[in-house]
Amino acid sequence: MSFEVVSQSRSFGGTQFVYRHASRETGTPMRLAAFVPPQANAGKVPVVWFLSGLTCTEENFTVKAGAQRVASELGLILIAPDTSPRGEGVPDDAQGAYDFGLGAGFYVDATQEPWTRHYRMRSYLERELPALVAENLPADMSCQGITGHSMGGHGALTIALRNPGRFKAVSAFAPIASPMNCPWGEKALSNYIGPDRAAWRDYDACALIESGARLPDLLVDQGTVDNFLESQLKPQLLEAACVKAGQPLTLRMQEGYDHSYFFIATFIEDHLRWHAQRLGAA
């Protein structure tokens, strides 16, 4: 299956694409953004995935993070998928809440009706989309990194922890560290997965680490004036889980930064250089 080009623009010697394709997993059209650096003209290059947070699409990171300049320098493909299925017939929260339903797929495979048919972002990102990227882009799939923001930070951590060896570099911006222990996560997991909290553990980075999953290394940046720091994100739970398990973690509390893309844009270069070093691109 090939990607349909929605748009393409030259950027720092490379090309910023937006693609659309029909997804087998979600049963909907899906969009993704892909920055392809100039080094790809000579052969396959490493890939860094960015998973976005609540309410976002593939556009937020692509337009606001300012990542293309550094990715062009380092020779990295950047892939930014949408956060959830969309389209006619895809269920949404009855009250239109921002933290559940459309724009809040939480990177899970739902097991509860009416979410089961379309809300399959775990399988989409772990199986379907990587195969399509390998087929359609000059991507070296043996050199992958993954990062994300907030809900997408949760997604990046849990996908990497569930797929040992796939990602040589993992980082996150203000991730939801333990969805089992915050209102956003409890709402999403109880509705998508059901009341059995044991089934939630596959979608909680702290629980996965506690159960023995490991990463080669981990970088997390968190703003100290983030409105969601204490109630939703709880990086101290991730730090405690990593210390107990001997999991390497660099947790940087960034003084004065909030939850916005100004925070991401400030530190995206650090993260991309972290990934490039571990992917052999720096």
- Going by C-alpha positions, the residue among 141, 194, 197, 147 that lies closest to residue 166 is 141
Which one from 149, 154, 259, 275 is the annotated catalytic residue?
Answer: 259
Q: Is the predicted pLDDT of residue 281 greater than 90, yes or no?
A: no
Respond yes or no: is residue 140 known to be catalytic.
Answer: no
Return the CATH number of the domain spanning residue range 4-279.
Answer: 3.40.50.1820
Residue range 117-130, pLDDT digits in tens: 999 999 999 999 99
pLDDT tens column, 197-253: 999 999 999 999 999 999 999 999 999 999 999 999 999 999 999 999 999 999 999
C-beta separation of 28 from 71 below 8 A: no
For residue 110, name the pLDDT band (cuts at 50, 70, 90): very high
Average pLDDT score, the chain: 97
The catalytic position among 150, 154, 204, 221 is 150
The per-residue pLDDT for range 47-72, each reduced to its tens digit, is 999 999 999 999 999 999 999 999 99
pLDDT value of position 155: 98
Catalytic-residue membership of 150: yes
**pLDDT grade for 1, boundaries at 50, 70 and 90:** confident
- Catalytic residue at 259? yes
Of 109, 204, 221, 226, the catalytic one is 226
Counting beta carbons within 10 angstroms of the beta carbon of residue 214, is it exposed (0 to 12), middle (13 to 18) or buried (19 or more)? middle
